[in-house]
Structure 1
Amino acid sequence: MQFWERPRHGANSFNRLPPDQAYFDALRAHGADWVRLSYDKWKAQERDFLMGDADRYQGVAERDLATLKEVLGRIDKAGLKAVIAPLSLPYARWSQNNGGKFDDCLWQDRRHWREAARFWRDLARALRGQPGIAAYNLINEPAPEKMGGLPEHAAPGRMLQWYADKKGGSRDLPAFYAELIRAIREVDPDTPIMVDAGWYAAADAFAYWPGPLADTRTLYSFHMYEPYATTSGPNLRRKPPLRYPGDSRFGGAAQYWDGQRVAAYLDQPLAWARAHGIPMSRMVAGEFGCIRTLDSCERYLDDVLAVLQRAGVHWAFYAFREDNWDAMDYELGKGKVPWTYWDAMEKGLPDPVVRRATPEFDVIRRRLQGGE
């Protein structure tokens, strides 16, 4: 846990191809010290990378494991630390690898948890001693609440009532995490664990958690894209688009969002941590971002980062030089990417676009390099 004793700043890597050494060297040169690594878009040995088949897990796929270890070696060589963050687990295939459908199987039957725990035990055993791993982020953006009757961004009282009804059942997220952590600790007593809040890691979704997990080497992660109605791609198709600062939609209601509202929203997971004696060194903003072509994207990023920096929490922006989705690649500025970007994607070739300094990325780069 020593790595996490002071605030750490980094980026998300959700690329379609395993990144090369130059990619991680460039991230390190910007001042990052960790990368949240997802592998689910990489070409798999079978259907699902590392798992073989998320519906019938039989063991870690060896060729996929070798690829992952190669990438982890590049991260370590660049002087970065890695947080491994799967988008899928057994019985919970990521929707973009599942025909666009949300896979709720994991949250329908506690017996399915055993396969997710077995996968993590197998992976932790296989990676024991691998240099450069700073944490295992057990699953990206879990949402057991989605099909379980709890509206997104419900009031805290309603969340608590919901959890009182679901506690001990198949949608009990803290209990699910506890089972996976026990499996990992059977083979690895040391590697820190990172857990996302529910409802896609919403910053308000720790509200129903009764307290921290029993494992003391645990970090608690939330994501920040609110108000999503403004910061997301569909907003750009509105005529006119919603603006920031400005009126937006959140939790089914109209709200005005500015730096003050961002700060109030982001204080919710921090207040939960304070109430339960969890130090800020255990809190992580695992993702945050906005569509780069939004007129005021840089102002939004600045407002979010100002809160995170004052709080002294760890953070990782979304995303660094993503090679199959350009919308939050801030080094591209506000213009369209050239056709070569899409041509390379279609042909399965590396991204050829050269990045550059932009006002949007400068907001992040300053903080990566220790500025305010």
Structure 2
Amino acid sequence: PTTPPADEWSLWVDGTHLRGANIYQRRVFDELDEGFLGPGPLGPPYTQADFDALAAAGANYVNLSVPGLFTVQPPYEPDPDVVATVDRLLEMAASADLYVVLSARTGPLRSEFSILRDGAGDWFGYEYLIEKVWEDTEAQAAWAAMWRYTAERYRDNPIVIGYDLMVEPNSNDILDIWDPDEFYRQYGGTTYDWNTWYPPIVQAIREVDPDTPILVGGMGYSGLEWLPYLQPVDDPRVVYTFHQYEPFVYTHQEPGEGLTNTYPGRFDADWDEEAEDVNRAWLDSFFALGDLYAAQYGVPLAVNECGVMRWEPGAADFMRDQLDLFERRGWNVAVWMWYPDWPPLATPDGDHDFNFRFGPDPANLTPTSNDLFAVYREFWSHNTLRPSGRR
């Protein structure tokens, strides 16, 4: 059956309408990557077949977690490599009949390696770690210019249904402050406070694009516990987001560490040195932070990143409970992540932690039928809307 294409804002309110996955690209550095992420300029490479497979699995939405369109270093201007790559990704998403949110990982004075900063001095040198945007008002203003340019470029593209201003704001990590109260007590109202400089980005977009929904996540890598500190902006078409990997000590266990935390299970889930029963009720209680925020401000929420490393004990049950709790709240969801069919990723030393198509065996590096992917497909099967109007 065919239904009329939905108004962009209607996709974000009155129930869950968008269920899909993230794809990820960053700039390739030959001296670091040695072909691992492909020839560049961005990688890993995605093809039309990768987008088609995501749609065929039932997703109707892809979150493009990619560099912002402007250069990291001054003069801050459109990066032709990034612009051309994003244009091509959008063409492939359109061909696959997928809605798209553009999520900016980078921009003026913020490199990809700020999000990956734990690896500085390990697998990349400190010279790659560029994150001075949090103390540079010119660079912050250039983010507004970048998003104005982006909105002008894509405002009439019917599949682009959201602009996500910054992937995982994280100045608190730079300052090594993990208590939101302490952070805002010391740095609220300063250039380190996302609340002070995301509203001008919204304003810059609205000067050229009054309609496309804008997505904003909070500090602390957009963890839910930081959402209450995100001050809403006076704009009726903003969606507030969080990324959900809690309990981190469950979702990010590496195979060599024994995988001792299970779902459901009992372990210290919140760093308070006391064990908790981690189950559906624990998740429901945790997500109440989002319920309170949505009710307090009368705004919609979305979860444009969530997931679990594929080998975690009980991963399928964990994600089934989590996705069901999101649906009951009417939140749109994009899981992390949909990998391209790029062979260097599927090697023992590759990148496949979140490749749910490979199943729970860490040694398996080819697609296989498994419970976790079945859960994702089950929820994606609820989708009824696509850009073309086809079910």
TM score, norm. by length of structure 2 = 0.79
Following TM superposition, by how much is the alpha carbon of 1:246 offset from its aligned partner in structure 2, in angstroms? 2.2
Partner AA of 2:313 in structure 1? D
Partner AA of 1:13 in structure 2? I
Residue number in structure 1 paired with 2:387: none
Choose which of 235, 246, 249 in structure 2 pairs with 1:229.
249
1:205 aligns to what SS in structure 2?
A: helix
Change (3 A) 1:94 1:251: farther
Residue number in structure 2 paired with 1:346: none
Q: Deviations over 1:8-52 (max 9, x none)?
A: 211111153342222212211222111101234xxxxxxxx7434
Q: Does 1:303 align with 2:321?
A: yes
Change (3 A) 1:328 1:239: closer
Change (3 A) 1:267 1:100: farther
Once residues 130 and 220 of structure 2 are traced to their aligned partners in structure 1, the CA distance between those partners, rounded to angstroms, is 14
2:334 aligns to what SS in structure 1?
A: strand
Following TM superposition, by how much is the alpha carbon of 1:163 offset from its aligned partner in structure 2, in angstroms? 2.5
Following TM superposition, by how much is the alpha carbon of 1:360 offset from its aligned partner in structure 2, in angstroms? 1.1
Partner AA of 2:240 in structure 1? Y
Following TM superposition, by how much is the alpha carbon of 1:117 offset from its aligned partner in structure 2, in angstroms? 1.5
Choose which of 326, 334, 337 in structure 2 pairs with 1:319.
337
Q: Does 1:238 align with 2:257?
A: yes
Residue number in structure 2 paired with 1:4: 12
Q: Which moved more, 1:12-21 or 1:171-180?
A: 12-21
Residue number in structure 2 paired with 1:367: 379
Following TM superposition, by how much is the alpha carbon of 1:175 offset from its aligned partner in structure 2, in angstroms? 2.4
Change (3 A) 1:218 1:122: same
Q: Counterparts of 1:64-79 in structure 2 under 5 Å?
A: 64-79=82-97
Residue number in structure 2 paired with 1:88: 106
Partner AA of 2:190 in structure 1? G
Q: Counterparts of 1:133-144 in structure 2 under 5 Å?
A: 133-144=160-171
Change (3 A) 1:104 1:59: closer
Residue number in structure 2 paired with 1:328: 354
Choose which of 209, 229, 235 in structure 2 pairs with 1:215.
235
Q: Does 1:255 align with 2:255?
A: no
Consecutive unaligned residues in structure 2, runs of 5 or more: 1-8, 26-42, 346-350, 384-391
Following TM superposition, by how much is the alpha carbon of 1:88 offset from its aligned partner in structure 2, in angstroms? 1.2
Once residues 334 and 258 of structure 2 are traced to their aligned partners in structure 1, the CA distance between those partners, rounded to angstroms, is 32
Residue number in structure 1 paired with 2:39: none
2:268 aligns to what SS in structure 1?
A: strand
Consecutive unaligned residues in structure 1, runs of 5 or more: 41-48, 342-352
2:321 aligns to what SS in structure 1?
A: helix
Larger RCO, structures 1/2 (Cα 8 Å, 6+ apart): 2
Partner AA of 1:273 in structure 2? A
Following TM superposition, by how much is the alpha carbon of 1:164 offset from its aligned partner in structure 2, in angstroms? 5.1
Following TM superposition, by how much is the alpha carbon of 1:172 offset from its aligned partner in structure 2, in angstroms? 2.0
Residue number in structure 2 paired with 1:349: none
Once residues 85 and 298 of structure 2 are traced to their aligned partners in structure 1, the CA distance between those partners, rounded to angstroms, is 40
Following TM superposition, by how much is the alpha carbon of 1:189 offset from its aligned partner in structure 2, in angstroms? 1.9
Once residues 255 and 198 of structure 1 are traced to their aligned partners in structure 2, the CA distance between those partners, rounded to angstroms, is 26
Once residues 339 and 93 of structure 2 are traced to their aligned partners in structure 1, the CA distance between those partners, rounded to angstroms, is 15
Partner AA of 2:70 in structure 1? M
Once residues 120 and 274 of structure 1 are traced to their aligned partners in structure 2, the CA distance between those partners, rounded to angstroms, is 29
Residue number in structure 2 paired with 1:45: none
Contact 2:163 2:215 in 1 (8 A): yes
Contact 1:286 1:317 in 2 (8 A): yes
Choose which of 37, 44, 47 in structure 2 pairs with 1:17.
44
Following TM superposition, by how much is the alpha carbon of 1:109 offset from its aligned partner in structure 2, in angstroms? 3.3
Q: Counterparts of 1:1-372 in structure 2 under 5 Å?
A: 1-5=9-13, 6-7=15-16, 8-15=18-25, 16-40=43-67, 50-52=69-71, 54-95=72-113, 96=116, 99=124, 103-148=130-175, 150-151=177-178, 154=179, 159-160=180-181, 162-163=183-184, 165-210=186-231, 212-234=232-254, 236-239=255-258, 241-244=260-263, 245-256=265-276, 257-278=278-299, 282-322=300-340, 323=342, 324=345, 325-336=351-362, 353=366, 355-370=367-382
Q: Deviations over 1:53-105 (max 9, x none)?
A: x1224311224312211210111121111101121121111224973766441
Change (3 A) 1:65 1:149: closer
Following TM superposition, by how much is the alpha carbon of 1:276 offset from its aligned partner in structure 2, in angstroms? 1.8
Following TM superposition, by how much is the alpha carbon of 1:337 offset from its aligned partner in structure 2, in angstroms? 5.5
Following TM superposition, by how much is the alpha carbon of 1:316 offset from its aligned partner in structure 2, in angstroms? 0.8
Once residues 361 and 317 of structure 1 are traced to their aligned partners in structure 2, the CA distance between those partners, rounded to angstroms, is 11
Once residues 111 and 195 of structure 1 are traced to their aligned partners in structure 2, the CA distance between those partners, rounded to angstroms, is 21
Once residues 139 and 87 of structure 2 are traced to their aligned partners in structure 1, the CA distance between those partners, rounded to angstroms, is 27
1:195 aligns to what SS in structure 2?
A: strand
Question: Among the aligned pairs, what percent are the same residue?
Answer: 24
Once residues 214 and 136 of structure 1 are traced to their aligned partners in structure 2, the CA distance between those partners, rounded to angstroms, is 16
Once residues 362 and 249 of structure 1 are traced to their aligned partners in structure 2, the CA distance between those partners, rounded to angstroms, is 26
Partner AA of 1:216 in structure 2? P
